[in-house]
Chains A and B, each alone.
Chain A
Amino acid sequence: MTLKAAVIVFPGSNCDRDVKVALEASSGAEPAMVWHGDGTLPDCDLIVLPGGFSYGDYLRSGAMAATSPIMRAVVAAAKRGTRLLAICNGFQIAAEAGLLPGVLMPNASLKFVCKDVLLRVESSESPFTRNYAAGDVVRMPIAHRDGNYFASENELDALENHDLVAFRYCDADGALSPAANPNGSARNIAGIFNRGRSVLGMMPHPERLADARLGGVNGKAMFDGLLAALA
């Protein structure tokens, strides 16, 4: 069994190769790299919207990519239940495309920030997080200027009531302190699912710590889990 994955490449995507390498390392299969202008998706079990600066973040992060030709097919596939992993700029695009609630605003510091952060796994009930246990504290890097998750109080309550928060920024003990929140995100939210738990949007980069030589493998569990769930 192999994992059939498609990584969408927008003009300005720059983590497309990184996620391809991580997928290959876990699944042994090469994902399809799909140019945004193509408009059609190959047959796949998993779509990845990778990190980067699609369209240079001009207008608003993710806003222009959300309207690119391939996104009609991506949205349609996601609505049919094809799994979609949206990382960093991918999360911004997915939110702009209406696949996930809320928006990613500029960081509270107004600065780009690149560092490892600690995340508390909030739900293992998904093909993305099945290899983690709820309450686990894992380390992953962030690298963004616009990662400050914002949604209305009602939307935030709904996310929590339906157990749709995937990850929250936390300290070493799993506590949700303001100091552990690197960008000002509402309720320390780092990643969320859609209602069907088939879409995960997250600011941290699991693909960047999926190789022991890079300093950690907490991200690898996500790709291994996707393989186990979908292949």
Chain B
Amino acid sequence: MSTGTPPETAPDAETIAAHGLNEEEYALIEKRLGRAPNMTELGIFSVMWSEHCSYKSSRIWLKKLPTEAAWVICGPGENAGVIDIGDGQAAIFKMESHNHPSYIEPYQGAATGVGGIMRDIFTMGARPIANMNALRFGDPAHPKTRHLVSGVVAGIGGYGNCMGIPTIGGECNFHSAYDGNILVNAMTVGLADKERIFYSAATDVGHPVVYVGSKTGRDGIHGATMASAEFDEDSADKRPTVQVGDPFTEKLVLEACLELMATDAILAIQDMGAAGLTCSSVEMVSKGGTGLELDLDRVPTREVGMTPYEIMLSESQERMLMVLEPGSEDSARKVFEKWQLDFAIVGRITDTGRMVLKSGNTIVGDLPVGPLVDDAPIYERPYTEHALPAPLPTAELASAEAPMEVLRKLMASPDLCAKRWVWEQYDHMVMADTIVRPGGDAGVVRVHGSQKGLAISTDCTPRYCAAHPETGGAQAVAETWRNLTAVGATPLAITDCLNFGNPERPEVMGQFVGCIKGMAEACRALDYPVVSGNVSFYNETNGVGILPTPAIGGVGMIADIDRMARIAFANAGEQILVIGETRGHLDASIFAREILGREDGPPPPVDLASERRNGDFVRALIEAGRITTCHDISDGGLLVAVAEMCLAALADGREIGAAIDLPDAGMPVHGWLFGEDQARYIISADAVSAKTIIEDGGKANIPIKVIGLSGGATLTLGGTDAISLRELQRVHEDWLPKYMEA
């Protein structure tokens, strides 16, 4: 047997560098091959060893995250994480970034990000049932921001809407740190039969390898390598590395795959995402401990004359690779032909431990599989610890601005304003199981045909992560946990999408390490493991990094959707209670940034014990049917949370305002109203219930305080300072559409 085709000349230094490989990495490739690689082989090593595919800078740290719990069926390492949700069912989910492509070509970049994450989910045998996203854009005043928002939102909608999967919520924030490098993180949750989950390990020697879906084109070549490098002024030239999405084809691939998965034909399956045919085939055989032979002439291509290099590295979308049970090829082919999709047997599984690529009668590539995966370099990159900043002097956080005026400004600020302009472009109701629509604490979808609900929330507060990564990492996890709790769900597990700058810079690596430490601590304290995730480094342009942004996607279970809570005030005349302690922490708050123009100081401390205690208390109240209105307190603090509860009621057609008391003496008014102390919720209850809730809280060591009364057509503060709900709604709703139209 041949051992491949040595190149006529070894690749030169420029070619090697263009493939994102350094000298040591290239030397290792030659050593493993026993010769110089040809261009196809170099390309394959390049993508497999890219940061995006190999996690070479993050791997040692990711191991520190807890990944196990009794309900975890499959943790990180597969296409997505799998958790048990009872009744023989499993929820499968993951979040992934598509940052660089979305900056270069916002519509297609965002669309294919959504398409890619949905593929990860249905590859495992799940029907996607909900999409979420976490978006970070630059300063609204930056000349590119409007164009990016418009394209990204349309792209997300364009793909998800056509697929018929509801997009039920997410985040959309703005900060100048993202001016040159926006973040587009997409999450999908799917539902599967626990006994019919599909994995990628190809263990069956001699079995056919089948390619299905779209044809392979020249788009997206080296996307994974692009995603592993910083940006500069010439990045727009990389537009051809962005893939073009075809959601209609993906809808057909989804239906065809699920149809075939209902039979026993598929032994292993992997979608072609980053690094396309290369990464999918290598992952399948490396997990299976096997090898494979691919006949590149059989790969369906969009145009003639594509080279082995292009075929192996194309990131054309909507493609899958599967290993079939021998004898089922014809029945499988019929399914894909029904859905008018390409179906081609392109190779077979071998026991050689090598990936052999053929074209015509020639072997155009022959690589050992092990080194592609196991020898991928792992770096223990140097990092600097980020110390907790000293608190700002109280005087520096004081403001003469009237609280109601502050509220107006915050409610109309880019981060806190209504995001209706965004989510009305997403079909959030298709599948007819959306129980909580966008705009609340967590989106909730019903598990089809049952009383169960899945609650989903994506969160991260990058300014906290920048101020102190460890606290910020813990806070991001805790906030998703709190948002799930606020609807009455039991939080089960998270997926993460870790967006950072260049890990070769010690301060960035320190942010990453700190965030991981904080996340791990929170996951352990809240019994809330990580089951899937993605790392996106090199989010910087011209050497300026983004804020550290470990976006967390949490999933929780609601046993009975008739026992849950919503953010909108349900009745007038109820007492409004704050659960959790209010200390008035204004450092690193939205108030400090929007009103005082400061972004320094420490983030609010995250006390995971009280987080858990307060949350468990609130959830028990909801599960017992004692409360139906609940909202967590986060960005903007207490008064913003109350305002959101009034506005949610108004949107539901109920004019229910609130009269909020001023704080006790000794507590600064702004700190009380706008401080961002963690582990807090607002609930409302009639006077009799409120009394017993306060008593129960006292016994359980839960701080609870009555802060006012619901009702009226205004939000009133201290009995005098009032804003009408209609006016509040106008300020809250106006900013984004007006900005986008300007």
Using A57-B162, A112-B161 as known contacts, say yes or no to A15 and B430 having CB atoms under 8 A apart: yes
22 contacts between A and B (CB under 8 A): A11-B248, A11-B252, A11-B340, A15-B430, A18-B430, A18-B432, A51-B430, A53-B247, A53-B248, A56-B162, A56-B246, A56-B248, A58-B248, A113-B424, A114-B427, A114-B428, A115-B424, A143-B427, A207-B432, A208-B430, A210-B432, A213-B561
B427 / chain A contacts, CB cutoff of 8 Å:
112, 114, 143
Residues 23-60 of chain A: 1 if any B CB is under 8 Å from the residue's CB, otherwise 0?
Answer: 00000000000010100000000000001110111100
Bound CA–CA A58/B431 (angstroms): 22
Residue B164 CB within 8 A of the other chain: yes
Distance in angstroms from B245 CB to nearest chain A CB is 11
Distance in angstroms from A160 CB to nearest chain B CB is 30
Q: In the bound complex, do residue B434 and residue A143 qualify as a contact, i.e. CB atoms below 8 Å apart?
A: no
Q: Nearest residue in A to B435 (C-beta to C-beta)?
A: A213
Residue A22 CB within 8 A of the other chain: yes
B162 / chain A contacts, CB cutoff of 8 Å:
12, 14, 53, 56-57
A145 / chain B contacts, CB cutoff of 8 Å:
161
Cβ < 8 Å to A, chain B residues 121-149: none
Partner of A112, one of B158, B164, B248, B435: B158
Using A22-B432, A53-B251, A56-B247 as known contacts, say yes or no to A14 and B425 having CB atoms under 8 A apart: no
Determine which residue in B161, B433, B437, B562 has the highest number of CB atoms from chain A within 10 A of its CB, and name it. Answer: B161
Using A53-B161, A56-B162 as known contacts, say yes or no to A114 and B432 having CB atoms under 8 A apart: no
A15 / chain B contacts, CB cutoff of 8 Å:
164, 430
Known A-B contacts: A205-B429, A210-B432, A213-B446. Give 14 more (CB < 8 A). Answer: A14-B251, A17-B432, A18-B430, A18-B432, A56-B162, A57-B248, A58-B248, A114-B161, A114-B423, A114-B429, A143-B429, A143-B430, A207-B432, A213-B562
Cβ < 8 Å to B, chain A residues 45-80: 51-53, 55-58
Bound CA–CA A152/B248 (angstroms): 32
Cβ < 8 Å to B, chain A residues 111-156: 111-115, 141, 143, 145
Q: In the bound complex, do residue B164 and residue A14 qualify as a contact, i.e. CB atoms below 8 Å apart?
A: yes
Distance in angstroms from A184 CB to nearest chain B CB is 16
Number of interface residues of B (CB under 8 A): 33
Bound CA–CA A141/B427 (angstroms): 10
Residue A1 CB within 8 A of the other chain: no
Residue A179 CB within 8 A of the other chain: no
Residues 375-406 of chain B: 1 if any A CB is under 8 Å from the residue's CB, otherwise 0?
Answer: 00000000000000000000000000000000
Interface of A, secondary structure class, is mixed
Residue B500 CB within 8 A of the other chain: no
Residue A226 CB within 8 A of the other chain: no
A215 / chain B contacts, CB cutoff of 8 Å:
437
Residue B735 CB within 8 A of the other chain: no
Bound CA–CA A24/B612 (angstroms): 43
Q: In the bound complex, do residue A12 and residue B248 qualify as a contact, i.e. CB atoms below 8 Å apart?
A: yes
Bound CA–CA A114/B428 (angstroms): 7
Bound CA–CA A207/B432 (angstroms): 8
Bound CA–CA A52/B431 (angstroms): 11
Distance in angstroms from B421 CB to nearest chain A CB is 9
Residue B487 CB within 8 A of the other chain: no
Residue B338 CB within 8 A of the other chain: yes
Q: Nearest residue in B to A182 (C-beta to C-beta)?
A: B424
Bound CA–CA A178/B429 (angstroms): 25
Q: Nearest residue in A to B251 (C-beta to C-beta)?
A: A12
Q: Nearest residue in B to A215 (C-beta to C-beta)?
A: B437
Bound CA–CA A18/B424 (angstroms): 20
A163 / chain B contacts, CB cutoff of 8 Å:
none
Bound CA–CA A207/B429 (angstroms): 10
Cβ < 8 Å to A, chain B residues 145-160: 154, 157-158
Bound CA–CA A136/B424 (angstroms): 25
A22 / chain B contacts, CB cutoff of 8 Å:
432
Using A53-B251, A213-B446 as known contacts, say yes or no to A17 and B431 having CB atoms under 8 A apart: yes
Residue A21 CB within 8 A of the other chain: yes
A57 / chain B contacts, CB cutoff of 8 Å:
162, 248
B247 / chain A contacts, CB cutoff of 8 Å:
53, 56
B338 / chain A contacts, CB cutoff of 8 Å:
35, 37
Distance in angstroms from A214 CB to nearest chain B CB is 6
B431 / chain A contacts, CB cutoff of 8 Å:
17-18
Q: In the bound complex, do residue A208 and residue B158 qualify as a contact, i.e. CB atoms below 8 Å apart?
A: no
Q: In the bound complex, do residue A14 and residue B430 qualify as a contact, i.e. CB atoms below 8 Å apart?
A: yes
Q: In the bound complex, do residue A114 and residue B425 qualify as a contact, i.e. CB atoms below 8 Å apart?
A: yes
Residue A171 CB within 8 A of the other chain: no
Bound CA–CA A112/B162 (angstroms): 11
Cβ < 8 Å to A, chain B residues 74-114: none
Distance in angstroms from B162 CB to nearest chain A CB is 4
A111 / chain B contacts, CB cutoff of 8 Å:
154, 425
Using A12-B162, A53-B247 as known contacts, say yes or no to A114 and B252 having CB atoms under 8 A apart: no
Bound CA–CA A35/B259 (angstroms): 14
Determine which residue in B252, B339, B432 has the highest number of CB atoms from chain A within 10 A of its CB, and name it. Answer: B432
A143 / chain B contacts, CB cutoff of 8 Å:
161, 427, 429-430
Residue B426 CB within 8 A of the other chain: yes
Q: In the bound complex, do residue A14 and residue B163 qualify as a contact, i.e. CB atoms below 8 Å apart?
A: yes
Q: In the bound complex, do residue B425 and residue A214 qualify as a contact, i.e. CB atoms below 8 Å apart?
A: no
Distance in angstroms from A135 CB to nearest chain B CB is 20
Q: Nearest residue in B to A56 (C-beta to C-beta)?
A: B248
Bound CA–CA A58/B340 (angstroms): 15
Distance in angstroms from B199 CB to nearest chain A CB is 27
Q: Nearest residue in B to A19 (C-beta to C-beta)?
A: B432
Bound CA–CA A17/B129 (angstroms): 13
B433 / chain A contacts, CB cutoff of 8 Å:
214
Distance in angstroms from A43 CB to nearest chain B CB is 24
- Counting from the closest, the 4 A-B pairs by CB-CB distance are A14-B164, A56-B248, A18-B432, A53-B162
Q: In the bound complex, do residue B157 and residue A112 qualify as a contact, i.e. CB atoms below 8 Å apart?
A: yes
Residues 213-248 of chain B: 1 if any A CB is under 8 Å from the residue's CB, otherwise 0?
Answer: 000000000000000000000000000000000111
Distance in angstroms from B456 CB to nearest chain A CB is 17
Cβ < 8 Å to A, chain B residues 430-457: 430-435, 437, 446
Bound CA–CA A21/B158 (angstroms): 25
B339 / chain A contacts, CB cutoff of 8 Å:
11
Q: In the bound complex, do residue A214 and residue B434 qualify as a contact, i.e. CB atoms below 8 Å apart?
A: yes
B249 / chain A contacts, CB cutoff of 8 Å:
56
B161 / chain A contacts, CB cutoff of 8 Å:
53, 112, 114, 143, 145
Distance in angstroms from B85 CB to nearest chain A CB is 18
A207 / chain B contacts, CB cutoff of 8 Å:
432
Bound CA–CA A111/B423 (angstroms): 12
A53 / chain B contacts, CB cutoff of 8 Å:
161-162, 164, 247-248, 251
Bound CA–CA A205/B154 (angstroms): 21
A21 / chain B contacts, CB cutoff of 8 Å:
432
B562 / chain A contacts, CB cutoff of 8 Å:
213
Residues 5-16 of chain A: 1 if any B CB is under 8 Å from the residue's CB, otherwise 0?
Answer: 000000110110
Q: In the bound complex, do residue A55 and residue B432 qualify as a contact, i.e. CB atoms below 8 Å apart?
A: no
Using A53-B248, A56-B247 as known contacts, say yes or no to A214 and B158 having CB atoms under 8 A apart: no
